[in-house]
Amino acid sequence: MKPIFVAVDTPDVHKAAAIARKVCGIAGGIKLGLEFFCANGREGVLRVAEHRMPIFLDLKLHDIPNTVAKAVEALAPLDPAILTVHAAGGIEMMRAARAAAPRRTRVVGVTVLTSLDQGDLAAAGTAGSPAEQVARLAALAREAGIDGIVCSGEEVAAARAAWPDGFLVVPGVRPAGTEVADQKRVVTPRQALDDGASVLVIGRPITAALDPARAIADIAADLTQTPEEART
């Protein structure tokens, strides 16, 4: 699997399909989130999937185990390559999601959103740092038997050390010199991959570029360099 999944955050199915067409062959797949799914539903996902790239459904399911299982069953015909649930939903919810998902769908647990920092966690009543919360939720996800987690690049090295065969998704990735926008815990694509990420989720640096194909090609080229080459 190629490591870059392009986050297409738009309610416009035609725009999403156009971006998928432009990055086809370079991206590992397309990530579709709540904004897109709420506007276009299953038919929109199928429209983007026509470009024959893996689809990452980032719906962050979070409810009682039975409800999440039924939701995953309803999504199964879309054959997503990756599907997110909230790890904070607990072990039984994550187990139910994994049991209901197609075998080849990787179910991953969202730990701490990249838009949150320690102050945000404290305001919500969660003690400790983002890294500590990620470690707690990663342990729950592993015990639940799902495939991996979603965490920021700041925590991925520790997550890889604790879960060597885990499928680790890193969002909030920004090439050097680009705007971080609403993200608070960001790293470069190269750093995230070197630290153990399985998949990098990159949105606006590609989708908002004048030439999305060139933007992702430049990032992909940097990732093919050895660490020594990248430092020169």
CA distances from 26 to 30, 31, 57, 94, 220 (A): 11, 14, 19, 31, 7
Give catalytic residues, as residue numbers.
60
Helix (H) or strand (E) holding 201: strand 199-202
Q: How far out from the chain centre does Cα 59 lie?
A: 10
Residue with tokens 């992702």: 216
Amino acid at 117: D
232 residues of the chain, pLDDT tens digit each: 899 999 999 999 999 999 999 999 999 999 999 999 999 999 999 999 998 899 999 999 999 999 999 999 999 999 999 999 999 999 999 999 999 999 999 999 999 998 888 999 999 999 889 999 999 999 999 999 999 999 999 999 999 999 999 999 999 888 765 555 555 557 889 999 999 999 999 999 999 999 999 999 999 998 876 555 445 4
Q: pTM value?
A: 0.91
Which sequence spans correspond to the domains of the chain? 4-231
Domain 4-231's class? Answer: alpha beta
